[in-house]
Homo-oligomer: A and B are copies of this chain.
Amino acid sequence: MDRPLLFNAFEMASAMHNAHGLWKHPDSERHRRYKELYYWVEMAKRLEAGLFDAVFFADVLGVYDTYRQSPAPSIRDGMQFPLNDASLVIPVMASVTNHLSFVLTASTTYEHPFHIARRFSTLDHLTDGRMAWNIVTSYLPNAAKNFGLERMIAHDQRYEIADEFLEVTYKLWEGSWEEDAFVEDRGAGMLIDPAKIHPIHHCGAFFSVEGPHLCEPSPQRTPVLYQAGSSERGRAFAAKHAECVFVGAPSPERLQAYIEDIRRQAEQYGRDPEQLKFFTFLTVIVGKTSEEAEAKFEQLRRLWSADAAKAQFSGASGYDLAEYETKPSDEPFLFRTTDHGHYKAASLTKDAAKRLTIGEALQKAGTLTRESVIIGNPTQVADAIEERARRSGVNGFNLTHLVTPKDLDDFIEYVVPILQRRGLYKTAYTPGTMREKLFGGGARLPSHHPAAAFRSIGVRTKSS
């Protein structure tokens, strides 16, 4: 097991993220304050004081409208709606911190690689190399309709596009500017040497981009690459590109199987499999005593919105759970992410009988279940985190906070000191960029990463 473990605050620039209906909790501030500058300034200071590694901003590009074929259940509880553009709060958070890193989600399906390359380079400059990109292909049908499509592009084709999207950004980030192009030579009257700036002349199946990249090389050039794919195609993509993989699984053992599978595939791409970090979900309900924690849990359960939770589950999985509310189903539960097909999220398990049925999924979806959270006094919570990490081999966690900011404060006050005593939580930040903090090597992508192949693009352009 990695020591220390890594901890990200799992966030969204939204009224509510994964805390369905909990805007009703008396301590909830976020549903009113997520749109304020100072909310994010305070959040950044809190997280750096608590030695969090990063804040991970999830994102979607539409409303969840699969459940009951209506957006009403999600809108009613502010479930990931409204949802602002998180990129715009990151520099403000960086301005009041020195070490906290930032994971920004951006879609390869609905963004353009030229814009994305520029946005991340700018952010990596402004944060002094504290940026990561969570690469997503976007799953909501409403997102497709917001960007001119009648229906979502089929799942595997979205990954084909993503693959080429990354190739374009690698060329811009790694190949377009040679390292010493900014010369500032007053005698020669030359600020930048044009011979060291290269167009990329990308011409592919989905994108055609001339370049050069508009930005100077930032501290990391390519931001740290995060990805969260659990389908077979998604795992292959992660194995090829991702440095950090965010993955959920119904048990630590299942998680371990995923991790081993992705590491194995990464090796086949010529990468060092130990240079991949794996993160999973973590939700903690902690009290000074276990009774206090149980009381907290009961209060959250009472305030929980089953409708908002089902709306999220339906939107993410592609099932309208409302269809099954009156007729129980024993069909196996598979993720459906397009109108044309579905994929097996759980295909890694050898034990097909353990797969969820739709009926079971439905039951789980609407409740804040005891299995989905860690409840207890500080020692019990620390024990459970330690056990989960040991059994799964995960390197870190994306911590969901149900009542913001109270839950973060409680975690930092009660749980962090115990984890620190056990060597499971850092006691100080290490210097350097996000990549240096995570992997201990250089600020740039290692030479075994496929992006490294595009570093010589200028040389090839010149000789052709």
Give me the interface of A with B, judged by CB distance under 8 Å. 13, 15-16, 21, 23-24, 31-32, 35-38, 41, 61-63, 70-72, 75-78, 81-85, 87-92, 94-95, 110-112, 114-115, 118-119, 121-123, 125-127, 142, 145-148, 184, 186, 189-194, 197, 207-212, 214-216, 218, 305
Contact = CB atoms under 8 A, between A and B. Distances in A.
Contacts of A146: 114, 209-211
Contacts of A197: 71, 75
Nearest to A142: B210
Contacts of A63: 212, 214
B192 A305 contact: no
A315 to B, nearest CB: 14
B190 A37 contact: no
Contacts of A89: 91, 126
A189 B125 contact: no
B35 A126 contact: yes
Given A72-B194, A81-B192, A88 B212 contact: no
Nearest to A186: B24
B208 A114 contact: no
A35 B118 contact: no
Contact of A36 (B77, B125, B190): B125
Interface core residue of A31, A146, A190 (most chain B CB under 10 Å): A146
Contact of A84 (B15, B85, B118): B118
A37 B88 contact: no
Given A23-B191, A63-B212, A186-B24, A37 B84 contact: no
Given A76-B191, A88-B122, A126-B89, A41 B95 contact: yes
B88 A123 contact: yes
Contacts of A194: 70-72, 75-76
Interface core residue of A94, A145, A214 (most chain B CB under 10 Å): A214
B95 A148 contact: no
Nearest to A86: B122
Interface core residue of A72, A94, A210, A215 (most chain B CB under 10 Å): A210
Given A146-B211, A191-B31, A88 B119 contact: yes
Contacts of A37: 91, 94-95, 126-127
Contacts of A85: 118-119, 122
Interface core residue of A94, A184, A212 (most chain B CB under 10 Å): A212
Nearest to A210: B145
A77 B186 CA distance: 10
B192 A75 contact: yes
Contacts of A16: 191
B94 A91 contact: no
Given A126-B37, A147-B112, A189 B305 contact: yes
19 contacts: A15-B191, A23-B184, A31-B191, A35-B125, A35-B126, A37-B94, A37-B95, A71-B194, A72-B194, A76-B189, A77-B189, A82-B216, A83-B215, A84-B122, A84-B125, A87-B87, A88-B90, A142-B210, A148-B208
Nearest to A74: B194
A34 to B, nearest CB: 9
A106 B76 CA distance: 33
Interface core residue of A31, A38, A81, A207 (most chain B CB under 10 Å): A81
Contacts of A38: 95
Contacts of A145: 208-210
A126 B88 contact: yes
A294 to B, nearest CB: 24
Given A15-B191, A83-B214, A148-B208, A61 B126 contact: no
Contact of A207 (B36, B148, B218): B148
Contacts of A207: 148
A35 B126 CA distance: 6
